[in-house]
Amino acid sequence: MNCTEAGALIKKRRTELGLTQKALADKMNISDKTVSKWERGLGFPDVELVAPLSEILSVSIESLISGKCELNEFKEINMKNNVYYVCPKCGSLTVSTGKSEITCCGERLAPLEAKKASEEQKLTVTPVENEWLVTGDCPMTKEDYISFAAFLTAETMYLTKLYPEWDLCFRLPSQSIGKLMWYSKKNGLLFQYVHR
């Protein structure tokens, strides 16, 4: 832990939020001299103050401790470049248009790495009217099932939530070309390209 860098981050976020040292101190029930001490790098908040301070300043606890708050540097959003996070405990899905610090159930989540589906893993995509019917051979049991599928083009994303013991069968709006992605505990995040 570098108190100087952490203090600089506290000061930077406080001023970005338009708070004076006294206003921040009042929110935390401490003195403004304590905030001044932190910002000058002469100390660090006590353990019980770190979580409330990170919440007030809208930075992660890890960023607060390290004194570094990195910004995403992407110039344009392309839905095909989304980053996916799945909580191993509750199965919650988080989608981001860039790398992020995501936590769920008390754990920091790592971004999933998408792998191209093998011929055996690919889903079947059949044109039906103005849609695509998607089916597959996944057993869809509680032990192994596809929990979500997403169809992506550069500017759109269609997300479908799937459940164990349901048939693996859903429809998507027909597009000329796109990327179909899906997630299961057994195989992780897989994708295949789809076109008319």
Residue 118 clears pLDDT 90, i.e. is over it: yes
Asked whether residue 88 is assigned to any structural domain, the reply reads: no
Per-residue pLDDT at 116: 95
pTM above 0.75, yes or no: no
Taking the mean position of all CA atoms in its chain, how far away is CA 43? 32
Pairwise CA distance, residues 144 & 121, whole Å:
13
Per-residue pLDDT at 70: 60
Asked whether residue 102 is assigned to any structural domain, the reply reads: no
Per-residue pLDDT at 55: 85
* Pair 53, 127 in one domain: no
How many independent structural domains does the chain possess?
2
Asked whether residue 86 is assigned to any structural domain, the reply reads: no
* Pair 191, 119 in one domain: yes
Asked whether residue 127 is assigned to any structural domain, the reply reads: yes
Residue pLDDT, tens place only, 173-182: 887 788 999 9
Asked whether residue 154 is assigned to any structural domain, the reply reads: yes
Asked whether residue 99 is assigned to any structural domain, the reply reads: no
Asked whether residue 37 is assigned to any structural domain, the reply reads: yes
Rounded mean pLDDT, 27-53 = 92
Alpha helices in 40-190 (DSSP H): 47-57, 61-66
Q: Residue 20: give its domain's CATH number.
A: 1.10.260.40
Q: Residue 119: give its domain's CATH number.
A: 2.60.40.730
Asked whether residue 117 is assigned to any structural domain, the reply reads: yes
Collapsed DSSP state (helix, strand, coil) of residue 145 = coil
**Which stretch of DSSP H or E encloses residue 146?**
strand 146-152
Rounded mean pLDDT, 87-108 = 86
Task: Give the range of the structural domain holding residue 125, as residue numbers without chain letter.
Answer: 113-195
